[in-house]
Amino acid sequence: MNKMNILNHLTIPSPLTQVKTSWSIAAGIELWLKRDDLIHPIISGNKWRKLSGIFEDYNREDYNGIITFGGAYSNHLVATAASCAIMELPCIGMIRGEEPKEWNPVLKLCKLYGMKLQFISREEYKRTNRQEGIKDNRLYIPEGGASKLGMVGCADILNEIDLTNVSKIFVACGTGTTIAGMATYLEKSENNHTKLYGIQVLKGERYIANDIKKQYDITSVHIYDEFHGGGYAKTNEELISFIKEFTRETGVLLDPIYTGKLMLAIKKLVERKEISGERIVAIHTGGLTGWFGKVSDL
Ligand SMILES: *Cc1c(COP(=O)(O)O)cnc(C)c1O
């Protein structure tokens, strides 16, 4: 099977839907969600976009298996496992750190899809996790799909949206690969009325802004670095009650690690009056398997 066949299992283009919350109505904003979470229940939104850019570039005849890298709760790992099952491709997941006594639900799901898991030391992981390309008939995909090709695949997110009256677009950032792809698309288009904003979900002053400038020479986006809520994958009372309220009001479930923080940040920017009376789009990048380790926080 090849990439064309996997597309029969995915919802591409993903829907664009308007949602109404008490705070968006009060501020007179039109809030639209790009539903990349609906691309596939397990092949999470932007992780598919990145894989797609990578699959696009390598000739399917040149490899007969995939090797990739991730932490024990990686959305990328499980997206790759499910993609490989659909494409009937053997795959190996190299997992950072010692094998846990009890596998968590993400690792079990990877195995369910047929991925073989190998646990490697943090040192070895650090040394190897950035590999990309074909070696010994295996296609290596770097951790999180974070690469130039992964970045290019993310341009499709915006290519699918009519941006005519959209003033602002918001997306959650971990490595910055997704926003870099979106920014590249905007820079190439004739569009100069739509601004792109990133919400950094990890602690670290300006690190994404610096990274995407260094790696991809992107300076056209604004990254907010103050909405991480305590750090990567950390939750708190405010975030959890916001997610509950948002889900109740819109029927759209957010994940606790990326899109929950994204939407809470947008609400705070609305309260700060940095957004008002305009049409904005937030990218729902998926990540709902993020709840596997966190349902007890609800
Ligand atoms: C990985 C991930 C992101 C972050 O993407 P980057 O390209 O690393 O910035 C955002 N949202 C979800 C749901 C993710 O799984």
Does the Cβ of 74 fall within 6 Å of ligand 1? no
What pLDDT shows up at residue 1?
A: 45
CA dist 111 and 258 (Å) reads: 24
CB 74 within 8 A of CB 144: yes
Do 93 and 183 fall within a single domain?
A: no
234 Cα to the center of ligand 1, angstroms: 15
Do 80 and 93 fall within a single domain?
A: yes
**Residues, the chain:** 298
151 Cα to the center of ligand 1, angstroms: 11
Per-residue pLDDT tens over the stretch 46-85: 999 999 999 999 999 999 999 999 999 999 999 999 999 9
For the segment 246-273, the average pLDDT, to the nearest whole number, is: 98
174 Cα to the center of ligand 1, angstroms: 5
Per-residue pLDDT tens over the stretch 81-104: 999 999 999 999 999 999 999 999
What are the Cα distances from residue 178, in Å, to 134, 154, 214?
A: 23, 6, 15
For the segment 267-275, the average pLDDT, to the nearest whole number, is: 97
CB 282 within 8 A of CB 258: no
Biggest CA–CA distance in the chain, Å, is 58
pLDDT band at 265 (very low <50, low <70, confident <90, very high): very high
Tell which residue, 16, 26, 23, 15, has the closest CA to residue 246: 23
pLDDT band at 3 (very low <50, low <70, confident <90, very high): low
Do 51 and 186 fall within a single domain?
A: no
Which of 115, 147, 179 terminates a domain? The answer is: 147
Does the Cβ of 173 fall within 6 Å of ligand 1? yes
188 Cα to the center of ligand 1, angstroms: 23
Burial class (CB in 10 A: 0-12, 13-18, 19+), 158: buried
Do 54 and 20 fall within a single domain?
A: no
CB 263 within 8 A of CB 246: yes
Which of 147, 163, 191 terminates a domain? The answer is: 147
> Does 2 score more than 80 pLDDT?
no
For the segment 103-132, the average pLDDT, to the nearest whole number, is: 97
Locus of tokens 């056209």: 220
Task: List phi, psi (to 5°) of 43.
Answer: -80, 85
**Mean pLDDT score of the chain:** 96
pTM over 0.75: yes
Residues near 65 by beta carbon (within 8 Å), at least 6 away in sequence: 89, 90, 91, 92, 137, 138, 139
Residue 52 is part of which domain span?
46-147
Looking at residue 141, which CATH number applies to its domain? Answer: 3.40.50.1100
Residue with the smallest CA separation from ligand 1 atom 1 is: 174
Ligand 1: atom nearest CA of 176 is 9
Locus of tokens 């490899």: 63
Does the Cβ of 44 fall within 6 Å of ligand 1? yes
What pLDDT shows up at residue 4?
A: 62
Do 132 and 160 fall within a single domain?
A: no
Ligand 1: atom nearest CA of 286 is 13
Per-residue pLDDT tens over the stretch 186-214: 999 999 999 999 999 999 999 999 999 99
Do 164 and 289 fall within a single domain?
A: yes
Does the Cβ of 178 fall within 6 Å of ligand 1? yes
Do 123 and 184 fall within a single domain?
A: no
What pLDDT shows up at residue 294?
A: 85
Ligand 1 mutation pick, 215, 285, 288, 294, max ligand atoms within 8 A of CB? 285
Do 158 and 222 fall within a single domain?
A: yes
For the chain, percent of residues with pLDDT exceeding 70: 99
Do 50 and 38 fall within a single domain?
A: no
Does the Cβ of 75 fall within 6 Å of ligand 1? yes
Ligand 1: atom nearest CA of 171 is 10
What pLDDT shows up at residue 173?
A: 98
Task: List phi, psi (to 5°) of 232.
Answer: -60, 130
What pLDDT shows up at residue 164?
A: 95
CB 285 within 8 A of CB 170: no
Do 130 and 264 fall within a single domain?
A: no
For the chain, percent of residues with pLDDT exceeding 90: 95
Domain count across the chain = 2
Which of 119, 147, 175 terminates a domain? The answer is: 147
Residues near 291 by beta carbon (within 8 Å), at least 6 away in sequence: 255, 256
Does the Cβ of 209 fall within 6 Å of ligand 1? no
pLDDT band at 298 (very low <50, low <70, confident <90, very high): confident
Does the Cβ of 196 fall within 6 Å of ligand 1? no
Ligand 1 mutation pick, 156, 157, 170, 178, max ligand atoms within 8 A of CB? 178
Per-residue pLDDT tens over the stretch 121-140: 999 999 999 999 999 999 99
Do 166 and 286 fall within a single domain?
A: yes
Do 37 and 56 fall within a single domain?
A: no
CB 262 within 8 A of CB 33: no
> Does 143 score more than 60 pLDDT?
yes
What pLDDT shows up at residue 293?
A: 83
